[in-house]
Amino acid sequence: MKLPHMRGVRVPHRKNTAGSRAVWMKNVKTVTIPLSMHIGAPDTPLVKVGDTVQVGEKIAEGGYMSSPIYASVSGTVKKIDTALMSNGYYIQNVTIESDGKLTPWEGLKPPVINDYADFIAAVRDSGVVGLGGAGFPTAVKLNVKDLNQIEEFVINGAECEPYITSDTITMTYRTGYVEKGLEILKKYMNARKIIIGIEDNKPEAIRAMHAITDSDPVCSVAVLRSSYPQGAEKVLIYNTTGKIVPEGKLPLDVGVVVMNVTSLAVLAEYIETGMPLVNKCVTVDGPAVASPRNVIAPIGTPLQDVFDFAGGFVEAPAKVVYGGPMMGIAVPNLQQPILKSTNAILAFNRKEGEMAKETPCIRCGRCVNTCPMRLNPPMIAKAMRDKNYEGLAELKVNLCMECGACVFVCPAKRNMIQRHKLAKSELRTWQQKQAEQKKREEESRAKEGESNG
């Protein structure tokens, strides 16, 4: 069956590192590990300054909506402090000075799994979160009250942004762990249908995934048109299953669970070996990088060290971002660390790193015709100017994924994503005030009724 295709935009691929194996980076002197690398509450440190730690030893843990954090090198805890991170928040960090030995923690062992509860505990202990950039704790995502509610698992191998190839490396060179991950979903999550979504510009990955699924009645590969933002959750679900996730709803509400392919492989590796998430395969690329490559680096490694490992810069970068050029977050300095969810670090020269000058909207309609969610950015901008919050709600501004496809095609280079972020924030504030006002009015009417009675 040929499924309909959600709107998107063609972006340059620039997959310069797709055909090369990842290179291990082992001689790291110091790592600085943030205690918040997931959506949810930050973790609390379990170590103190002066403690000796080993690779895979737990150094921080939090509550339900969190994910444990482990030492990525062996050595000594030198500092526990708070620093400003690229997301604009001050986050507590644990700094470990490496002893150069990368000694595994002596307590490492594969988890014992006898039932579904054991499996969810193992997922949590793995430290795995959404490794495609979202950072949502995987244990929370897979902790479903009724497994029969899940009709499809969609494995995200789209990797639609330019430059990034770290998930492609997983599918091409870590195929065995992807296959074991699929078996895990079938065994413990009672998966009845698993679809691996991959863009058609990744032929090696497509062949590798076909090799492990073609004889499996539960698993299949969906070869998707190379179109951005193909890897966005709602877009991927629509283009693989035909289902639409309504506004304010989760994928599970339509019977779907989405997992990043590298998250699946890392989880399978933990269940087999007992080694939690301590390293990350990261694409190091961009016009300012001397020798683009995929690097497997300990979590917490300073970006400067990773770029140096990739030959340094051919020219001073004007901008460095976590992630891809479409949705990546600019970093304030090169001492920022590799995070759990870091799939790429890109360095741009001045020509490509500077923001284009914004000019007036010419009403060409390209943004409207491109938006995967079928939003109308010019009308949203007008509602925002007029402080028309009811209009913003009617225009479904909350459906904006902030993918940047509209900005990419805009000849006027309008800053639509920034406006949409602000619009969503102001709309939430207005809706909260409306709800509070309604509550006060209801309480007032109730008191008036009591006094009249």
User: How is residue 399 annotated by DSSP?
Assistant: G
Residue 89 confidence (pLDDT): 83
Q: What's the first-to-final CA gap in the chain, in angstroms?
A: 65
* Phi, psi of 122, rounded to the nearest 5 degrees: -65, -40
Question: What is the average pLDDT value for the chain, to the nearest integer?
Answer: 94
Residue 5 confidence (pLDDT): 63
Provide the CATH number for the domain formed by 279-353 in this structure. Answer: 3.10.20.600
CA-to-CA distance for 336 and 189, rounded, in angstroms?
37
- Which ranges constitute the DSSP H helices of 127-260? 138-142, 166-173, 175-188, 203-213, 233-241
Question: For residue 257, what are the contacts with CB-CB under 8 A and spacing of at least 6?
Answer: 141, 142, 144, 150, 152, 153, 154, 189, 251
**Higher-scoring residue by pLDDT: 219, 6:** 219
Please check the confidence at residue 1 and state whether its pLDDT lies above 50: no
Provide the CATH number for the domain formed by 23-273 in this structure. Answer: 3.40.50.11540
Please check the confidence at residue 419 and state whether its pLDDT lies above 70: yes
Residue 444 confidence (pLDDT): 87
Q: At what angle do helices 261-273 and 166-173 cross, to 10 degrees?
A: 50
For residue range 198-213, what is the model confidence (pLDDT) as tens digits? 999 999 999 999 999 9
For residue range 226-268, what is the model confidence (pLDDT) as tens digits? 999 999 999 999 999 999 999 989 999 999 999 999 999 999 9
pTM of the predicted structure, to 2 decimals:
0.93
- 172 is written with which tokens? 């091409």
For residue range 74-111, what is the model confidence (pLDDT) as tens digits? 999 999 999 888 888 899 999 999 999 999 999 999 99
Neighbours of 54 (CB within 10 A): 19
**Higher-scoring residue by pLDDT: 451, 441:** 441
Residue 4 — pLDDT band, cuts 50, 70, 90? low
